[in-house]
Amino acid sequence: MSEIGKRKDDHLDLAARGDVGFHHTTTLFETVRFVHDALPELSLDEIDTTQRILEKTLRAPILIAGMTGGTERARGINRQLAKLAQARGYAFGLGSQRAMHTDPSVAASYQIRDVAPDVLLLGNVGLVQATQMKTDEVSALARGVGADALCLHLNPAQEAVQAGGDRDFRGGLSTIARLVGELPVPVVVKETGCGISGSVARRLRGLGVRHVDVSGAGGTSWVAVETQRAEASRRGLGETFWEWGIPTAASVALASGHGFDTVFATGGVSTGLDVAKAIALGAHAAGLARPVLQALEGGGAAAVEELFDRVEAELRTAMLLVGARDLAALRRAPRVIGPDLSLWLNQAGG
């Protein structure tokens, strides 16, 4: 197995069973409280959770967020989860396609269109890698999996603590501008667990970016993942930056004010109430990753179905209890913002 492949399987093991969550930092979704509507004048059955994103209609505003690719184990995970996304009408994200670019023989681990022909499919490549690639090479990654859009992932914190990780992040802005202008599919700029600030959101909009995935802090810490993979003598740096990042709720609210067509909320989302709060703060859909992987590893596809049955029931119940017939109404629902999130919004604007 290649070094990239070994790293991918290490990531899966740690995400499923390791101590890689934030220890103190939360998503701050817990600081958002909806105002209860005791007279909703709604039937639960008439609540509409559909959402139109990137020219496809999702049955619910849910993304199975990109996790893996590049190994035989990853192939099985991608195909099982993509098949489920197809059946449930969700969006589906692939893990980084760097392995596919480096070694075309592993391309099959990213191929899911035969089992999920209609899903909103997001390809994925790191911005640092894309900076070193021609537009045609990046386009080939999206075309090779039939992606509807391509995520350019930002992960400077993860790379900074990863043994052998990238250390040079120059040229990112010009690369984003080039790919937004030249790729035949839309670009989604996404973080990987540290969030997108208001300032970065403003710069991205200035480059013509229309879609972002904030991937904020409070769920899996990819600094923690690389810290766990590091030799003992090298773990100090990662332990110092374990809690680094912008909480997901703050990042959603900060990004949503900049006029993006799509804001995905990923990073620590685990319940339908989290999804509802993300929508209310300005997201268009919310993504789950680690809880899905843990369910799949622990109980197979049936356990993932059970997880998403619960998430959808929680989302619909939240909508009922605020009197929101659809997601547009949910965005207008009265809510109370707690002091921790208010501090982020007041002091980290942009």
Nearest-angstrom CA–CA distance, 87 and 277? 25
- Whole-model pTM: value is 0.96
Query: Domain-by-domain residue ranges, the chain?
Result: 3-347
Contact predicate 47/319, CB 8 Å: yes
Please state the φ and ψ torsions of residue 35, each to the nearest 5 degrees.
-90, 120
Contact predicate 78/66, CB 8 Å: no
pLDDT at 3: 65
Indicate the pairing of strand 120-126 with strand 149-154: parallel
Nearest-angstrom CA–CA distance, 225 and 238? 9
- Using DSSP's 3-state secondary structure scheme, residue 344 falls into helix
168-203 CB burial, b ≥16 within 10 A, e <16: eeeebeebbbbbbeebebbbbbbbbbbbbbbebbbb
pLDDT at 323: 98
Where does the chain show beta strands of DSSP type E?
Answer: 32-34, 51-53, 56-58, 62-64, 91-93, 120-126, 149-154, 187-191, 211-213, 262-266, 285-288, 335-337
Nearest-angstrom CA–CA distance, 214 and 256? 10
Per-residue pLDDT of the chain (350 residues; tens, 9 = 90+): 566 667 667 778 878 888 999 999 999 999 999 999 999 999 999 999 999 999 999 999 999 999 999 999 999 999 999 999 999 999 999 999 999 999 999 999 999 999 999 999 999 999 999 999 999 999 999 999 999 999 999 999 999 999 888 899 999 999 999 999 999 999 999 999 999 999 999 999 999 999 999 999 999 998 999 999 988 888 999 999 999 999 999 999 999 999 999 999 999 999 999 999 999 999 999 999 999 999 999 999 999 999 999 999 999 999 999 999 999 999 999 999 999 999 999 998 76
Contact predicate 265/252, CB 8 Å: yes
CA of residue 106 relative to chain centroid, distance: 23
CB atoms under 10 Å from CB of 294, counted, come to: 16
Contact predicate 127/209, CB 8 Å: no
pLDDT at 115: 98
pLDDT at 230: 87
Where does 86-129 show beta strands of DSSP type E?
Answer: 91-93, 120-126
pLDDT at 317: 98
pLDDT at 1: 59
154 phi-psi bin (left φ>0, alpha ψ -120 to 50, beta other): beta
pLDDT at 161: 92
CATH code of domain 3-347: 3.20.20.70
pLDDT at 4: 66
